[in-house]
């Protein structure tokens, strides 16, 4: 039936939910509980940032798909995402401590880094996955020069330890980002252009999703 496909977001990220709601879709939010460190450790040696983030996004989507009740699993799409900052030849996830967040910002101030966001879309019909599409987006982020006092206050806010790379574009960290080259929504955590293409690949139309997942108000 047209307009009956629910959208499930396999993420606790308020930023990703905000991106979807701003684009006309109010998703069902379910958190995967995937052990990201264990999954990354199990990947073949030498895999690049695109493969790492896409594998994590896929694992999150698959984990959530396996927990859906029969009503949702009858007709839905599950969207999984994972973001990491690539700089100095390595991937950076969430800083473990405020001190690590400050150290990271001191290292990247006035420089650029690449934000990799893995995306996975699963199409479920009648309780089973019928289609899978996954890809990644890369956006260059140009970082500013926060003062020492600004940086210390930012670290104390708790925001940088909760997000990949220790910064946000749509929160307090946005004050210290000079610009982005690429898709801003991917930096927030869910790239709309790439997600649209993945939805098309699994045979789902945006107008149908808008009808089935309206944003109240």
CA atoms within 13 A on the CB side of 152: 3
The number of residues in the chain equals 217
Contact between 76 and 121 under an 8 Å Cβ cutoff? The reply is: no
Strand 75-87, strand 6-9: pairing: parallel
Between CA 121 and CA 78 the distance in angstroms is 6
Task: Select which of 35, 82, 150, 178 is catalytic.
Answer: 82
Contact between 156 and 169 under an 8 Å Cβ cutoff? The reply is: no
**Nearest of 16, 63, 13, 15 to residue 35 by alpha carbon:** 63
Distance of CA 113 to the CA centre of its chain: 17
Would you call 82 a catalytic residue per the annotation?
A: yes
Interhelix angle for 98-108 vs 148-156, to 10°? 140
Find where tokens 């997942």 sit. Answer: 213
Catalytic residue annotation: 82
């Amino acid at each position: 039936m047209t307009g009956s496909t629910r959208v499930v977001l396999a993420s606790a990220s308020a930023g990703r939910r905000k991106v979807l709601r701003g684009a006309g879709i109010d998703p069902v939010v379910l958190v995967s509980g995937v052990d990201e460190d264990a999954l990354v450790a199990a990947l073949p040696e030498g895999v690049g940032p695109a493969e790492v983030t896409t594998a994590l996004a896929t694992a999150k989507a698959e984990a959530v798909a396996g927990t859906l009740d029969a009503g949702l699993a009858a007709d839905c799409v599950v969207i999984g995402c994972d973001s990491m900052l690539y700089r100095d030849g390595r991937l950076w996830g969430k800083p473990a401590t405020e001190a690590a967040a400050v150290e990271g910002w001191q290292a990247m101030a006035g420089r650029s880094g690449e934000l990799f966001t893995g995306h996975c879309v699963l199409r479920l019909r009648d309780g089973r996955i019928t289609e899978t599409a996954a890809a990644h987006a890369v956006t260059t982020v140009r970082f500013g020069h926060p003062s020492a006092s600004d940086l210390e206050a930012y670290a104390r806010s708790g925001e940088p330890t909760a997000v990949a790379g220790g910064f946000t574009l749509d929160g307090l960290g946005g004050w210290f980002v000079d610009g982005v080259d690429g898709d801003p929504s991917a930096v927030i955590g869910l790239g709309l252009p790439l997600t649209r293409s993945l939805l098309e690949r699994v045979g789902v139309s945006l107008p149908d999703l808008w009808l089935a997942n309206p944003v109240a108000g």
